[in-house]
Amino acid sequence: MAREYSLNPAASQRPKLDHRAMLNEQQYAAVTAPAGQALVIAGAGSGKTRTLTHRVAWLLENGIAPERILLLTFTNKAAREMLERVESLVAVDVRRLWGGTFHSVGNRLLRLHGAALGLRQSFGILDREDQKDLLDAVLSDAESSVGSFRLPKAEVMGEIFSLASNTRLSTEEILTSRYPYFLEALEDIEAMRQRYEQKKRQTQSVDFDDLLALPLRLFEEHPQVLETLRSQFEFVLVDEFQDCCALQVEWLRHLVGPRGNLMVVGDDAQSIYSWRGAEVEHILNFGDLWPQARVFKIEINYRSVPEVLALANASIACNKGQVPKELRADRGAAGALPALVALDDGRAQAAFVAQRLGELHEDEGKAWSDMAVLYRAHFHSMELQMELTARGIPFEITSGLRFFEQAHVKDVAAFMKFAVNEHDEVSFLRMVRLVPGIGPGSATKLWTAWRKVDHPPQAGHPGTFSQWLLPMSVPKKAREGWQQLAYTLDELVIEGKAIAPTAMIRSVVEGVYEDYARSKFKNADQRQQDLDQLAAFAQRYEDCPEFLAQLSLLSGVDTGSSPEEGSRDVVTLSSAHQAKGLEWPVVFAISLAEGLFPHHRVLEDEASLEEERRLFYVTLTRARDELYLCHPLLNPQSRTGDVILRPSRFIQEVSQDLLEKWNIRPAW
């Protein structure tokens, strides 16, 4: 006896979405727009991201295969959230869709097609610190031949190259507009750039900017690759378009072509990345690139109560260079104005925020994760971090040094990077310098010796690392550590094949790093726990280069967070830049004093000040229900001797009727 039983796909059980009921007219028109190009230009909180999410869902419902959709967002987190939302809307495996930051998509494209540019699939990614190390090496090589006193330091050099790459301008143009005092060193700087490029090629590594620039080269120089990609990505969607740099716009121009399907959403009033080469003009000139594009405008804000929105509107109206628009609030009045809170100093500010967070949680039942504290610069949060820790309020930080950028994580990663890429000089040097007794000098000599090895085990040759490394000459007191390092490497690559990333991390920690951490760090236990967490995170990956790429991308400028981030009930502490696109019921903006926000660097320059005001606008528009504006009156630690702080001009220039002043007095 047998019984026929068929499994129905989940899709057939889920009704199609009622997009019309969930969207307003303009949003609906955009979501269901016919093929072609579309620009959704609208203010903060007007549902741009929601529109994109529904567009993806709508495409999937209409039978577009997920692989044919490319969704570009500003952070990996944003991409993940959007895909989760789509997944809850339609029954399609959204993991098949191409979604992520430009950088992460660039990485995937280069792994697939980089061979055309001479890149091996296992190429490494230099994060900003690795980049600086490599530039330092280039600079010190060159020191003898160049009058190095005139040259910018590695970090500044990196910034110059990065800007040139992102804006597609020449080094000379960048120097003229931003670093005129280095113009006389132009020739030397150009020469450095060439050496740096060479060095990257030799070491089979790319930096963050290459993740954007090299795919573009691929599109430009390899028409057959572009052809394949164009027909693969039938629909391209982009969030936060106002912060795209020239390179990213070129990507779109190539991938989409003059008649492809492209939808971008953005808000010129929230453009805050010109210091990294973004140009708000791209959004204003969209019609020049795609003359047939449809334009959708949304003038209703769904996020914030009218009191918050009135303040945000008043603030952005102070900018001269903007497309005038007045956002209307969809929500009803909250009955309370945004609070303006003057506090004695940073400590009092921290105490106020912590106490208020506690009250909102205990008395008003707000979840910790409903609340965020935003600031201009990471160090503004230090006192608050201490206060929250003292009071036992849980929080996470999305600014400043992140999990993946910490020394111990990078040390362990150096072993792994070298184990899969024998050309990786930066990782080799970092790794061997961990051996007690080996300094920068011996490390360089060892690298020279390694480069003579003609069939290294990583490249698929039989044999072991120790066979090559042990005969090399090392200082006497380094001998034991050197052996340990060589044998540890042996465990990582077996018969020319890298073992799984988790196993690698365990081997490195047990073989070398545990001892090192104990001798080097006061908080070795904490670091040990971090590495355990890293090993657990790595379990998702079987392939080492893929894991390492993720690691670099997570530490990158455009991304947030530690592995488990997102789902915990904690208060968010974030820089205003990192808060882009996000929202919370309660927002505290702190350190709103002249010189802090606006930052003292921008006070002189009108254009930078306008960008700073847009950043303030972004900060205000993150709040749904409640907004607190805090400013300390004194800065006892001031290095310039200017102890008295004035409230930010961004507070003073708007009508004070939009704010409610809170007078704070000590309990005693």
Q: Return the residue of 260, 581, 598, 632 that touches ligand ATP, per CB under 6 A.
A: 581
In this structure, how many other beta carbons lie within 10 angstroms of the beta carbon of residue 77? 20
Smaller CB separation from ligand ATP, 1 or 21: 21
- The minimum distance between CB 621 and Mg ion, in angstroms, equals 10
* Residue span binding ligand ATP (CB under 6 A) among the ranges 47-55, 182-190, 214-222, 359-367: 47-55
Angle at 545 between CA 166 and CA 462, to 5 degrees: 135
As a whole number of angstroms, the distance between CA 83 and CA 478 comes to 51
What is d(CA 240, CA 40) in angstroms, rounded to the nearest whole number?
Answer: 10
Choose from ligand ATP, Mg ion, none: what does 282 bind? Cβ within 5-8 Å by kind.
Answer: none
- Binding ligand ATP by CB under 6 A: which of 30, 38, 41, 45? 45
- Neighbouring residues of 492: CB distance < 8 A, sequence distance ≥ 6: 415, 416, 419, 498, 499, 504, 507, 508
Among 38, 39, 44, 329, indicate the residue that binds ligand ATP (CB under 6 A).
Answer: 44
Of the listed pieces 41-49, 225-233, 544-552, 609-617, which binds ligand ATP according to CB under 6 A? 41-49
Q: Which is nearer to Mg ion, 51 or 648 (CB)?
A: 51
Distance CA 274, CA 163 (A): 10
Contact 345, 632 (CB under 8 A): yes
Which residue's entry shows tokens 């930010």? 648
Pairwise CA distance, residues 168 & 253, whole Å: 14
Smallest gap from residue 648 Cβ to ligand ATP (A): 21
Question: How many residues contact ligand ATP, by CB under 6 A?
Answer: 18
State which residue, 241 or 537, has the beta carbon closest to ligand ATP. Answer: 241
At 587, phi and psi to the nearest 5?
-130, 130
Q: Least Å distance between CB 371 and Mg ion?
A: 20
CB nearer ligand ATP, residue 43 or residue 277: 43
Strand 69-73 with 235-238, pairing: parallel
* 381 is a site residue for ligand ATP (CB under 6 A): no
- Closest CB to Mg ion belongs to which residue? 49
CA pair distance 375, 592, nearest whole angstrom: 8
24 interface partner picked from ligand ATP, Mg ion, none, CB below 5 to 8 A per type: ligand ATP
DSSP state of 273: -
Contact segment (CB under 6 A) with ligand ATP among 20-28, 253-261, 387-395, 441-449 equals 20-28
Q: Which stretch binds ligand ATP (CB under 6 A): 43-51, 86-94, 440-448, 546-554?
A: 43-51
End-to-end alpha carbon distance in the chain: 86
Nearest distance from C-beta of residue 308 to ligand ATP, angstroms: 12
Distance (Å, whole) CA 267 – CA 283: 8
Q: What does the per-residue mask of binding to ligand ATP show for 541-580, with x meaning CB under 6 A? A: ----------------------------------------
| Binding residue for ligand ATP, selected from 26, 37, 46, 205, defined by CB under 6 A | 46
| Residue 77 in the binding site for ligand ATP (CB under 6 A) | no
* Phi and psi angles of residue 320, each rounded to the nearest 5 degrees, phi first: -75, -45
Q: Are residues 301 and 311 in contact, defined by beta-carbon separation less than 8 angstroms? A: no
Cα separation, 580 vs 124, in Å, equals: 29
Q: Which does 260 bind (CB under 5 to 8 A by kind): ligand ATP, Mg ion, none?
A: none
Determine the Cα–Cα distance for residues 160 and 175; give it in Å rounded to an integer. 8
Residue 267 binding target from ligand ATP, Mg ion, none, CB below 5 to 8 Å by type = ligand ATP
Six-digit token string for 450: 């390694």
CB 260 to ligand ATP: min, Å: 23
Number of Cβ within a 10 Å radius of residue 371 = 23
Instruction: Provide, rounded to whole angstroms, the least separation between the CB of residue 48 and ligand ATP.
Output: 3
| Pairing relationship of beta strands 497-498 and 493-494 according to DSSP bridges | antiparallel
Q: Which residues contact 326 (CB under 8 A, 6 or more apart)?
A: 299, 313
Residue holding tokens 């990065």? 162
- Residue closer to Mg ion (CB basis): 27 or 49: 49
Q: Which does 27 bind (CB under 5 to 8 A by kind): ligand ATP, Mg ion, none?
A: ligand ATP
Closest CA to 623 of 267, 310, 298: 310
Q: How far is the CB of 79 from Mg ion (least distance, A)?
A: 12
d(C-alpha 167, C-alpha 437), whole Å: 44
Closer residue to ligand ATP (CB): 46 or 313: 46
Specify the residue, 366 or 631, whose C-beta has the smaller distance to ligand ATP.
Answer: 366
Q: Determine, following the binding rule CB under 6 A, whether residue 244 of this chain makes contact with ligand ATP.
A: no
Stretch that binds ligand ATP, among 23-31, 156-164, 339-347, 535-543 (CB under 6 A): 23-31
Q: With CB cut-offs between 5 and 8 Å by kind, which of Mg ion, ligand ATP, none does residue 366 bind?
A: none
Q: Which phi and psi angles does 572 have, rounded to 5°?
A: -95, 130
Give the 3-state secondary structure of residue 164.
helix
What residues are paired with 101 via a beta bridge? 73
Q: Which of 113, 200, 303, 613 binds ligand ATP (CB under 6 A)?
A: 303
Among 50, 282, 325, 577, binds ligand ATP (CB under 6 A): 50
| Contact residues for Mg ion, defined by CB under 5 A | 48-49, 581
With CB cut-offs between 5 and 8 Å by kind, which of Mg ion, ligand ATP, none does residue 44 bind?
ligand ATP
Residue 423 vs 580, nearer CB to ligand ATP: 580
Q: Is 322 in the site for ligand ATP (CB under 6 A)?
A: no
* Distance in Å, CB of 48 to Mg ion, minimum: 5
DSSP conformation letters of 539-551? TT-S-HHHHHHHH
Q: Contact at 8 Å (CB) between 628 and 341? A: yes
255 to 105, 278, 294, 510, 655: CA distances (angstroms): 12, 19, 19, 46, 47
Residue 267 as a binder of ligand ATP (CB under 6 A): the answer is yes
Q: Could you tell me where the beta strands, DSSP code E, fall in 451-596?
A: 493-494, 497-498, 571-575, 584-589
CA atoms of 502 and 360, how far apart (whole Å): 42
* Cβ at position 211, least distance to ligand ATP in Å: 24
The smaller minimum CB distance to ligand ATP, of residues 215 and 581, is found at: 581
Q: Is 23 a residue that touches ligand ATP (CB under 6 A)? A: yes
Closest separation in Å from C-beta 239 to Mg ion? 6
Per CB under 6 A, the segment of 44-52, 62-70, 105-113, 511-519 that binds ligand ATP is 44-52
Which is closer to Mg ion, CB of 48 or CB of 376? 48
Return residues touching ligand ATP (CB under 6 A).
23-24, 27, 42, 44-50, 267, 270, 302-303, 581, 583, 621
